[in-house]
Amino acid sequence: MGLIFAKLWSFFCNQEHKVIIVGLDNAGKTTILYQFLMNEVVHTSPTIGSNVEEIVVKNTHFLMWDIGGQESLRSSWNTYYSNTEFIILVVDSTDRERLAISKEELYRMLAHEDLRKAAVLIFANKQDMKDCMSAAEISKYLTLSSIKDHPWHIQSCCALTGEGLCQGLEWMTSRAGLR
Ligand SMILES: Nc1nc2c(ncn2[C@@H]2O[C@H](COP(=O)(O)OP(=O)(O)OP(=O)(O)O)[C@@H](O)[C@H]2O)c(=O)[nH]1
């Protein structure tokens, strides 16, 4: 009986939460993934397809899929959606011209049947850059306060220094405990 309980406990404790990291090309998705994994900046090149890594935070296991953001790849994002519990949307806070496209992609994902239960973490990345938009500005532009059927959180960050990334992960860890 004790052994069965222990196995069940370990099964539930080690349950992996699937995360997709999406956003336009050059937003900083791969840089964020490898900061999570190794606490360092890796040299990146545009992702063709995806990178996948397991990240463990306080006993919570996340399986993170970093998906290429180039225009030609965005139509295949939906092949990664099934069983996704968390969407991390990475926004380049200096990319004012393409914020409308990020918004379109966000609402397209939220309307997708396979993501109806997903929580959304938005990283307002590249906060080290001069003239970047603040998280509040991005939140307003993306009309995040209108999202009622998905838990969401916006976090400003700089993937190069790692600033803000832990806070985002902490929000995800607290939500993972509710599932
Ligand atoms: N200044 C600054 N540059 C950053 C930051 N995060 C990422 N970058 C740079 O932005 C560029 C693109 O980063 P990636 O992580 O490759 O972007 P991506 O979103 O994975 O791009 P795709 O693979 O094309 O979808 C790289 O030169 C990074 O070093 C940041 O916080 N600040």
CA 143 to chain centre: 18
Burial (Cβ within 10 Å: 0-12, 13-18, ≥19) of residue 127: buried
* Residue 1: pLDDT over 70: no
Q: Which residues are catalytic?
A: 70
The ipTM is 0.99
Mean pLDDT within 23-33: 97
Give long-range contacts, CB 8 A cutoff, 24+ apart: 12-15.
Answer: 13/59, 14/61, 15/61
Atom of ligand 1 nearest to the CA of 41: 29
Numbered residues of the known binding site for GTP? 23-30, 69, 125-128
66 C-alpha vs ligand 1 centroid, how far in Å?
Answer: 12
* Bridge partner list, 125: 92
110 against 42, higher pLDDT: 110
Looking at the domain that runs over 14-178, which CATH code has it been given?
A: 3.40.50.300
- Domain borders along the chain are 14-178
Mention every residue, 6+ apart, whose C-beta is less than 8 A from residue 76.
Answer: none
Residue numbers belonging to the annotated binding site: 23-30, 47, 69, 125-128
Residue nearest to atom 8 of ligand 1 (CA): 28
If pLDDT is split at 50, 70 and 90, which confidence band does 159 have? very high
- Centre of ligand 1 to C-alpha 124, Å, is 12
Mean pLDDT computed over 128-136: 97
**166-175 mean pLDDT:** 96
Higher pLDDT, 79 or 41: 79
CA atoms of 126 and 91, how far apart (whole Å): 8
| pLDDT range class, residue 40, cuts 50, 70, 90 | confident
Alpha carbon of 95 to ligand 1 centroid (Å) = 12
**If you measure from the C-alpha of residue 114 to the centroid of ligand 1, how many angstroms do you get, rounded to a whole number?**
28
* Count of other CB atoms within 10 angstroms of residue 162: 16
The more confidently predicted of residues 137 and 179 is 137
Atom of ligand 1 nearest to the CA of 31: 15
Show binding-site residues for Mg(2+): 30, 47
**177 pLDDT higher than 80:** no
Look at residue 6 and tell me whether its pLDDT is greater than 60: no
Residue with CA nearest ligand 1 atom 12: 26
Residue 137 dihedral angles phi and psi, to the nearest 5°: -65, -45
